[in-house]
């Protein structure tokens, strides 16, 4: 994964004793007149941040993150002529954490209701990690509501997930143990409530080339989002629904909207090879771009690459 640099927290930053800013304060800190707000859709109170004017571009974050994942790209995308709308998915951050409904088809229905509640019939949409899975399902289940879709580093769950080994074989480029861990009901909440910072640091330190790309403030924001039993349970719900997601994928045809796949070169190119092989079988108009010199969290580690590709693709 290349050279990893360390990030030393600055005195007084969140995580070292200072209070973590609220979502409203974080939104107002961004250029482009971004505002934090809530809306109720499908009985769920959803949190989102929006700013800019123009064609709507909906961004969906991944695990273990929140809308704050897109902070480095939001102002530039707004400046490029988009109404940038970043949604905390059900189970994430400031949005409700229901007991059920974490399969990606149901989550895509919620996103569709969210889009309609904001007054849009059609949007551009992009997601990273779990957000990418929801964006794919949105395009598959609500084709008239999507103009273009970008999928970042992660594909929709398919049967290959059942082949993940319980134990890492010698030479495996990485071992996604958290897929099984997050699928266990009840125990992760007991182990991680109040201790989520350990998981947050492990994930980012392991999947960034430059650990400082997700700074102390961001880690504190994400820790706050996943530090309660409900926050952990909500994030785990996305993984516990993978079985249903795999069944649903078998009922989908090819996506008709143009698709941009942005993928890291992690795991000795495993992520990139998988996306390059799989996406053309799932959509008719596909372009896959490998983001060099960045890990899985490249929205934060290589924001200019994301800005450049999005600006061109969603123009």
Residues annotated as catalytic (active site), given as ranges = 129, 239, 296
CA 273 – CA 290 distance, rounded (Å): 10
Beta strands in the chain (DSSP E): 35-41, 44-51, 55-60, 82-87, 123-128, 146-152, 259-264, 286-291
Q: Please give the C-alpha separations between residue 224 and each of 35, 167, 194, in angstroms, as whole numbers.
A: 20, 31, 9
Q: What is the DSSP string of 195-246?
A: THHHHHHHHHHHH-SBGGGS-HHHHHHHHHHHSSHHHHHHHHHHHHTHHHHH
- In terms of Cα–Cα distance, which of 223, 278, 298 is closest to 70? 298
Hey, how many other C-beta atoms are within 10 angstroms of the C-beta on 289? Answer: 18
CA–CA separation, 223 and 20 (whole Å): 10
Residue 203 CB coordination number (10 Å): 19
Q: Give the integer Cα–Cα distance in Å for 176 and 312.
A: 33
Hey, is 50 helix, strand or coil?
strand
């Amino acid at each position: 994964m290349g050279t990893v640099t360390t990030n030393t927290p600055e005195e007084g930053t969140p995580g070292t004793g200072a209070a973590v800013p609220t979502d409203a304060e974080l939104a107002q800190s961004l250029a482009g007149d971004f505002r934090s707000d809530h809306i109720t859709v499908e009985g769920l109170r959803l949190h989102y941040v929006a700013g800019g004017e123009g064609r709507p571009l909906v961004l969906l974050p991944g695990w273990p993150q929140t809308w704050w994942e897109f902070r480095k790209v939001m102002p530039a995308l707004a400046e490029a002529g988009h109404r940038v709308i970043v949604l905390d998915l059900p189970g994430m951050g400031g949005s409700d954490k229901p007991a059920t409904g974490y399969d990606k088809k149901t989550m895509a229905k919620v996103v569709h209701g969210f889009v309609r509640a904001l007054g849009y019939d059609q949007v551009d949409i992009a997601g990273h990690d779990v957000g990418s899975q929801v964006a794919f399902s949105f395009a598959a289940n609500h084709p008239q509501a999507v103009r273009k879709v970008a999928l970042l580093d992660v594909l929709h769950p398919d049967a290959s997930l059942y082949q993940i080994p319980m134990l890492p074989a010698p030479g495996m480029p990485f071992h996604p143990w958290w897929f099984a861990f997050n699928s266990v009901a009840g125990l992760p909440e007991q182990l991680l409530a109040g201790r989520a910072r350990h998981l947050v640091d492990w994930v980012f330190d392991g999947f960034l080339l430059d650990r400082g790309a997700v700074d102390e403030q961001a880690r504190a924001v994400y820790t706050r989002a996943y530090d309660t039993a409900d926050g952990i349970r909500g994030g785990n719900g996305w993984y516990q629904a993978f079985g249903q997601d795999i069944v649903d994928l078998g009922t989908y045809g090819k996506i008709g909207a143009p698709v941009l796949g942005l993928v890291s070169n992690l795991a000795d190119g495993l992520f990139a090879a998988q996306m390059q092989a799989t996406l053309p079988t799932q959509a008719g108009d596909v372009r896959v771009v490998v983001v060099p010199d960045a890990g899985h969290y490249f929205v934060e580690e290589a924001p200019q690459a994301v800005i450049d590709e999005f600006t061109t693709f969603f123009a």
